[in-house]
Amino acid sequence: MALKQISSNKCFNGFQKVFEHDSIELKCKMKFGIYLPPKAESGKCAMLYWLSGLTCTEQNFITKAGFHQAAAEHGLIIVAPDTSPRGCNIEGEDESWDFGTGAGFYVDATEEPWKTNYRMYSYIKDELPKLINANFPTDPERMSIFGHSMGGHGALILALKNPGKYKSVSAFAPICNPIQCPWGKKAFGGYLGSDLSKWEAYDATHLVKSYPDSHLDILIDQGKDDQFLSAGQLLPDNFIAACTEQKIPVVFRLQQGYDHSYFFIATFVNDHIRHHAKYLNA
């Protein structure tokens, strides 16, 4: 599990780095971004994992979100992986922008030709944290997760499927109920086949119904003018209804005038980092 450093840039007295490694789960080379706050020079830090959305790589969040100052101040290591396996030369992987390359959807595929490489769920859950903990000054017990759009879906399902693993979870404009929206149907159909019980195992709105306790404060920001909200791709109402029924606390903020872009994320990312720091640095 050797790491190759691709770049290193000082930022707010810490370092934004990008590394490449050979992934065992995904059977390809993967890159991830990692921000090491100034505190990482002298002690162990809690970790906050960021999952990006459709079409993104490890670059979008680290160049556009403007999170470095807050991460430096709260002493958090921020890990921003790529969204999908790369360079696998699977037939059709580059045909759509919302399936295949750039659209891993954070599931473990069970169908050909995807099941060999498209194992983003296990990669994010196990392989990447193991790699991060082995190579950086982390406290493995203190870990949280957040993400955007497809990555908001990823953050929610990882937290809901693994009670206790993450101290907190939050999302920007997450795909809340993928089994009910066009993006999710296309992705889950392709990666998981036609058995709907396999789809439900990766759907936040379904998963929350069997979440065992209420020790999870969820923060969601959603732009009210988000084109994908009105297109029925995100379906936060379904998720909120399920949380309400289950008595899981959700702070859902519908932000007037904001869209699906990184300008929206940049505006509220400090609030999210503060939300996570409350649990990670408690």
11 binds its own copies (CB under 8 A): yes
Distances (CA, A) of 191 to 179, 183, 221: 13, 12, 28
> From residue 242 to residue 271, what is the string marking binding to its own copies with x (rule CB under 8 A)?
---------------xxx-xxxx-xx----
Active site includes 261? Answer: no
Residue with smaller CB distance to its own copies, 99 or 264: 264
As a 3-state breakdown, the chain gives helix, strand, coil percent values, each rounded to 5, of 35, 25, 40
> From residue 110 to residue 139, what is the string marking binding to its own copies with x (rule CB under 8 A)?
------------------------------
Cα–Cα distance between 136 and 77 in angstroms, integer? 9
Considering only 213, 225, 237, 245, the residue that binds its own copies (CB under 8 A) is 225
Distances (CA, A) of 117 to 60, 109, 110: 22, 8, 10
> From residue 134 to residue 173, what is the string marking binding to its own copies with x (rule CB under 8 A)?
----------------------------------------
Comparing C-alpha atoms, which of 269, 258, 267 is closest to residue 228? Answer: 258
Active site includes 94? Answer: no
Active site includes 260? Answer: yes
Phi, psi dihedral angles at 93 (to 5 degrees): -65, -25
Q: How many CB atoms lie within 10 A of CB 122?
A: 15
12 binds its own copies (CB under 8 A): yes
C-alpha of 195 from chain center: 25
**Which of positions 58-97 make contact with its own copies (CB under 8 A)?**
63-64, 66, 68-69
CB of 10 to its own copies, least distance (A): 4
**Which of positions 17-56 make contact with its own copies (CB under 8 A)?**
none
Q: Which of 221, 226, 272, 275 is catalytic?
A: 226
Catalytic residue ranges: 149, 226, 260
